[in-house]
Amino acid sequence: MIELFQKAKLHKDRAAIVSNENTYSYAQLLDRSSVVAANLLNKLPDLNEASIAFLVPPSFEYVAAQWGIWAAGGMAVPLCVQHPLPSMEYVIEDSGSKVILVHEDFQEMLQPLKANPDLSIIPLKEVFKKNSSPLPDIGLHRRAMMLYTSGTTNKPKGVVTTHGIIKSQIVTLVEAWEWEKEDYILNILPLHHVHGIINVLSCALWSGACCEFHAKFEAKDVWDTILSGKMTLFMAVPTIYYKLINYWESDNKKKQLKMSEAASRLRLMVSGSAALPVPVLEKWKSITSHTLLERYGMTEIGMGLSNSYRNERRPGYVGLPLPGVEMRLVDKDNIPVTEELPGEIQIKGPCVFKEYWQKEEATKEAFTKDGWFKTGDIAMLHNGMYKILGRDSVDIIKSGGYKISALEIEDVLRGHKDIDDSAVIGLEDEEWGEVVAACLVSGKNTMDFDEISKWLRARLPAYKIPRKYVLQKKLPRNVLGKVTKKELKSLF
C-alpha cells in the first residue's frame, strides 16, 4: 500500500479535509478513494501507470480522485480549473490520457472533447458510486503523477514523478517545517502545481493534519479563517499576500488589530512560486509580526532550498539546501563558482523528477553527464545564504557585456513611493545585445520616467538603469502569480 495511505490509517478518526462547509475524516477519504479506484479498475487488476486526467475544483472530491487514481495504479494528471479549453486539450493529448474524470461544474466546458472517440469523459459522480475491488500493490518506483511546467519559455512539458520521489519531497518538508498532526492549513493554491499539491495538501495529510479548501481566493474569507483561530500554517504566493495587505489596510483600526493579533498566533507563514518583493515582506511583518519564510523550488524538484524555520530568515534570500538535497552553482562551462559569484543552480537528490513525459532528448539535455539537474535559475551565495538572481532565459539581461538581474532592478523600483509593482525585461538591441526595459504599475495615470531614472541613479549603477519604460494598471500573470514576461515585450 502507498505510504501516504498507510499514514492516513493511523489517523482514521481525525479531520482530514474541510471543504464546502463539510468536514471529512481520514477514514472517509480512504473509503471514497478506494471506491474511485475500484470504478477506475473496472475489474482490471492494475492500471499499470496509465495517465488519468482529472478536472476537479479544490475540494474533498479532488483528493479522493487523486488518491483513487494512485490506489488503482494510475498516473494522476491534474488539469488546471482556470485554464481555457485549448490549454487543457494540450495537456490531455500530450499526457496520453484516454480517461478524464470531470466534476459537474466543468462538464459543459469539456463537451467539445466528446467528439473524440478515443477519449472517455467520466462524470465524477460515476466513479463515486459504491464499488469494491482488490487493489494492486504499488511500489515506490511506480510513476505517480504528471505535472506540467508553466511554459513561460517554451511549450509546457509533462514532469513525471514516482511515488518514491513524492515521498522524498513530502518528508523533506515535514522535517524542515516541523509539521505535526495538530496543524491546520488553508489551501487556496492551484492544485495542478507542486506548491498546492505537495507543500500544502500532501504534507498535511502525511502528518495527520487538517487541510481546508476554499474554491477560490477571497481576501475576506482568508482573513475570516485566520480570525477563527483554527489555522497554524499558511502558504501563498506574493500576489496573495499583496491582496491580503490591501484588505487589511481598507478596514478600520479595531478590526485591523484583531486581524493582526490572530495572524501573529500562526506558527509559520511561507511565500513561494514567485519572487517576494522585499516591501511586501516588510509590510506583512509590520501587520502580523511574521517574517515570511521564503523557499526555492520548481516542478522538477519539489523544494530545493529554504530559509530556516527556527533561525534567521533573510529578506530577499532563499536560505540553504533542504535535508537530502545536494546543490551546486556552476558557470557556463559547468565549473563550480565560488562565493559571491553568480552561477546556475544544479540539483541532485531523491526529490528530482524521473523524466519529461515522452521527451527523451529534453530529459537528457536537462541533466549534466554526472547526473546534476540543470534548473536554468541563477543564484549567488552571499554571506552564507543563497539569493536568486533570476532565470537565465528570462530574468538575466545581457547588456554591453554585463549580466544584469532583472529581479534586483524590480526590487529597487518597488521602493519608489509612486510605484506599486514592476517587471523588468531585456529587449533586443543591435548595439548593446539587450537593453533594460521596465513596466511600471502605479495608481497614477502618468509618470515622469526621467525622474524615475534620476531616482534610480542614486541606487543602481548606470548600466542597470532602464532605457525604456511603459506604464500599466497591472502586470500580466499566470495562475500561480508569476509575471508572464513574454507578454510584456509586446508592450514595448
Per-residue model confidence (pLDDT) at position 342:
92
Distance CA 4, CA 296 (A): 24
CA angle 81, 86, 88 (to 5 degrees): 40
Judged against a pLDDT cut of 90, whether residue 275 lies above it is answered with no
| pLDDT above 90 as % of the chain | 81
Judged against a pLDDT cut of 60, whether residue 152 lies above it is answered with no
Query: Which tens digit of pLDDT belongs to each residue from 190-223?
Result: 899 999 999 999 999 999 999 999 978 999 999 9
Judged against a pLDDT cut of 80, whether residue 408 lies above it is answered with yes
Q: What is the mean pLDDT of residues 132-148?
A: 96
Distance CA 275, CA 378 (A): 13
Task: Identify whether the C-beta of residue 79 lies closer than 8 Å to the C-beta of residue 158.
Answer: no
Per-residue model confidence (pLDDT) at position 385:
96
Per-residue model confidence (pLDDT) at position 461:
81
Per-residue model confidence (pLDDT) at position 446:
92
Q: Average model confidence (pLDDT) for the chain?
A: 93
Distance CA 172, CA 179 (A): 11
Please report whether residue 476 resides in a domain: yes
Per-residue model confidence (pLDDT) at position 356:
97
Query: Which tens digit of pLDDT belongs to each residue from 13-28?
Result: 999 999 999 999 999 9
Question: Which cell numbers hold the place of 122?
Answer: 467520466
User: pTM of the predicted model, to two decimals?
Assistant: 0.87
pLDDT-derived band at 405, boundaries 50, 70, 90:
confident
What's the total number of domains in the chain? Answer: 1
Judged against a pLDDT cut of 70, whether residue 467 lies above it is answered with yes
Please report whether residue 414 resides in a domain: yes
Q: Buried (b) or exposed (e) across 167-186, using 16+ Cβ within 10 A? A: bbbbbbbbebbebeeebbbb
Sign for the pseudo-dihedral over CA of 275, 280, 286, 289: negative
Please report whether residue 26 resides in a domain: no
Question: Residue 129: CB partners within 8 Å, gap ≥ 6?
Answer: 35, 39
pLDDT-derived band at 398, boundaries 50, 70, 90:
confident
pLDDT-derived band at 153, boundaries 50, 70, 90:
low
Please report whether residue 403 resides in a domain: yes
Per-residue model confidence (pLDDT) at position 151:
61
Please report whether residue 440 resides in a domain: yes
Q: What is the mean pLDDT of residues 242-251?
A: 94
Query: Which tens digit of pLDDT belongs to each residue from 73-87?
Result: 999 999 999 888 988
Task: Identify whether the C-beta of residue 61 lies closer than 8 Å to the C-beta of residue 69.
Answer: no
- CATH code for position 426: 3.30.300.30
Distance CA 275, CA 297 (A): 11
Per-residue model confidence (pLDDT) at position 249:
96
Q: What is the mean pLDDT of residues 30-57?
A: 97
Query: Which tens digit of pLDDT belongs to each residue from 315-329?
Result: 989 999 999 999 999
Please report whether residue 410 resides in a domain: yes
Per-residue model confidence (pLDDT) at position 427:
92
Judged against a pLDDT cut of 90, whether residue 401 lies above it is answered with no
Judged against a pLDDT cut of 90, whether residue 300 lies above it is answered with yes
Please report whether residue 430 resides in a domain: yes
Q: What is the mean pLDDT of residues 124-137?
A: 96
Q: Which domain holds residue 451?
A: 396-489
Question: Which cell numbers hold the place of 208?
Answer: 495527520
Please report whether residue 21 resides in a domain: no
Distance CA 6, CA 240 (A): 34
Query: Which tens digit of pLDDT belongs to each residue from 323-380?
Result: 999 999 999 899 999 999 999 999 999 999 999 999 999 999 999 999 999 999 999 9
Judged against a pLDDT cut of 70, whether residue 305 lies above it is answered with yes
Phi, psi of 448 (to 5 degrees): -90, 100
